[in-house]
A and B are shown apart, each in its own frame.
Chain A
Amino acid sequence: MFEYLLSQLVSPVFWQLIASGVAVGMIYGVIAFGYQLTFATSKTLNFGQGEALMLGALVGLTVAPYTSYWLMLPVVAAFGLLQGSVVERLGVRQAIKIKSEAGWIMATIALGIIFKNLAENIWGRDDLKFPPPISEKPLSFHGVNVLPMELVIVAGAIIMMLLIELFNRRSIYGKAVVATSNDRDAAGLMGINTGLVITFSYALSSLTAAIAGVLVAPVTLTGATMGSALGLKAFAVAIIGGLSSGFGVVVGGLILGITETLTGYYFSTGYKDVPGLLLLLAVLSIKPSGLFGKSAIKKV
Chain B
Amino acid sequence: MTLKTGFAALAATLALASAAAAQDIKIGLTGPFTGGSSSMGVSMRDGVKLAVEEINAAGGVDVGGKKTKITLIERDDEAKNELGVQIAQELINKEKVTATVGFINTGVSLASQRFYQEAEIPVMNNVATGTLVAKQFPAPNYIFRTSANDAIQSSMIVDEAIVRQGFKKPAIMADSTNYGQLGRTDLEAALAAKGVKAVAVEKFNVKDTDMTAQLLRAKEAGADVLLTYAIGPELAQLANGMAKLGWKVPMIGSWTLSMASFIDTAGANGEGAIMPQTFIQQPTTPKRKAFIEAYQKAYKVDRIASPVSAAQGYDSVYLLAAAIEQAKSTEGPKVREALENLGKKIEGVVTIYDKPFSKDDHEAISGNIPVMGIIKGGKVEPAHPEDIAGDKAVRVKPKA
Contact status B261-A126, CB under 8 Å? yes
Report the bound CA distance from A166 to B207 in whole Å: 35
Which B residues touch A7, using CB under 8 A?
none
B220 to chain A, nearest CB (A): 6
A264 to chain B, nearest CB (A): 3
Which B residues touch A140, using CB under 8 A?
246
Report the bound CA distance from A268 to B237 in whole Å: 19
B68 within 8 A of A: no
A33 to chain B, nearest CB (A): 19
Which A residues touch B245, using CB under 8 A?
16, 138, 145
Cβ < 8 Å to B, chain A residues 122-151? 124-127, 129, 136, 138, 140, 145-147
Report the bound CA distance from A51 to B205 in whole Å: 20
Contact status A138-B34, CB under 8 Å? no
Contact with B along A229-273 (1 / 0, CB 8 A): 100000000000000000000000000000011111100111011
A181 within 8 A of B: no
A13 within 8 A of B: yes
Contact status B204-A126, CB under 8 Å? no
Which A residues touch B204, using CB under 8 A?
269, 272
Contact status B203-A270, CB under 8 Å? yes
Nearest A-chain residue to B247, judged by Cβ: A145
B35 within 8 A of A: yes
B246 to chain A, nearest CB (A): 5
Contact status B261-A145, CB under 8 Å? no
Nearest B-chain residue to A263, judged by Cβ: B213
Which B residues touch A119, using CB under 8 A?
none
Which A residues touch B233, using CB under 8 A?
127, 221
Cβ < 8 Å to B, chain A residues 149-182? none
Which B residues touch A260, using CB under 8 A?
210, 213
Report the bound CA distance from A147 to B213 in whole Å: 16
Of A17-25, A39-47, A276-284, which stretch is located at the interface? A17-25
Which A residues touch B267, using CB under 8 A?
129
Contact status A13-B38, CB under 8 Å? no
Contact status B265-A24, CB under 8 Å? no
A145 and B246 in contact, given A120-B34, A270-B176 (Cβ under 8 angstroms):
yes
Contact status A265-B246, CB under 8 Å? no
Among B243, B244, B261, the one with the most A-chain Cβ atoms within 10 Å of its Cβ is B244
Nearest A-chain residue to B32, judged by Cβ: A125
Which B residues touch A125, using CB under 8 A?
34-36, 38
A269 and B246 in contact, given A126-B36, A126-B261, A264-B213 (Cβ under 8 angstroms):
no
Nearest A-chain residue to B176, judged by Cβ: A270
Interface size on B, as a range, is 20 to 34
A138 and B176 in contact, given A24-B210, A126-B261 (Cβ under 8 angstroms):
no
A109 within 8 A of B: no
A20 and B210 in contact, given A124-B34, A126-B39, A270-B203 (Cβ under 8 angstroms):
yes
A100 within 8 A of B: no
B294 within 8 A of A: no
Which B residues touch A273, using CB under 8 A?
205
Which B residues touch A16, using CB under 8 A?
212, 216, 245
Contact status B264-A138, CB under 8 Å? no
Report the bound CA distance from A265 to B245 in whole Å: 14
A13 and B203 in contact, given A126-B38, A145-B246, A261-B212 (Cβ under 8 angstroms):
no
Contact with A along B150-178 (1 / 0, CB 8 A): 00000000000000000000000000100
Report the bound CA distance from A263 to B213 in whole Å: 8
Report the bound CA distance from A202 to B212 in whole Å: 34
B265 to chain A, nearest CB (A): 5
B135 within 8 A of A: no
A239 to chain B, nearest CB (A): 21
Among A127, A272, A273, the one with the most B-chain Cβ atoms within 10 Å of its Cβ is A127
Which A residues touch B207, using CB under 8 A?
225-226, 228-229
Nearest B-chain residue to A13, judged by Cβ: B216
Which B residues touch A129, using CB under 8 A?
264-265, 267
Report the bound CA distance from A13 to B204 in whole Å: 19
A13 and B220 in contact, given A125-B34, A265-B213 (Cβ under 8 angstroms):
yes
Would you mind naming 23 contact pairs between A and B with Cβ atoms under 8 Å apart?
A13-B220, A16-B216, A20-B212, A24-B209, A124-B34, A125-B35, A126-B35, A126-B36, A136-B243, A138-B243, A145-B246, A220-B237, A221-B265, A226-B207, A260-B213, A261-B213, A262-B213, A263-B213, A264-B214, A265-B213, A265-B217, A269-B204, A270-B176
Q: Which A residues lie at the B interface, using CB under 8 A?
A: 13, 16-17, 20, 23-24, 120, 124-127, 129, 136, 138, 140, 145-147, 216, 219-221, 225-226, 228-229, 260-265, 268-270, 272-273
Please name 19 further chain A to chain B contacts, defined as beta carbons within 8 Å, in addition to the given A221-B233, A221-B237, A221-B265, sorted by A numbering. Answer: A16-B245, A20-B213, A24-B209, A24-B210, A125-B38, A126-B36, A127-B232, A127-B233, A127-B261, A129-B265, A138-B245, A145-B245, A145-B246, A220-B209, A229-B207, A264-B214, A269-B214, A269-B217, A270-B176
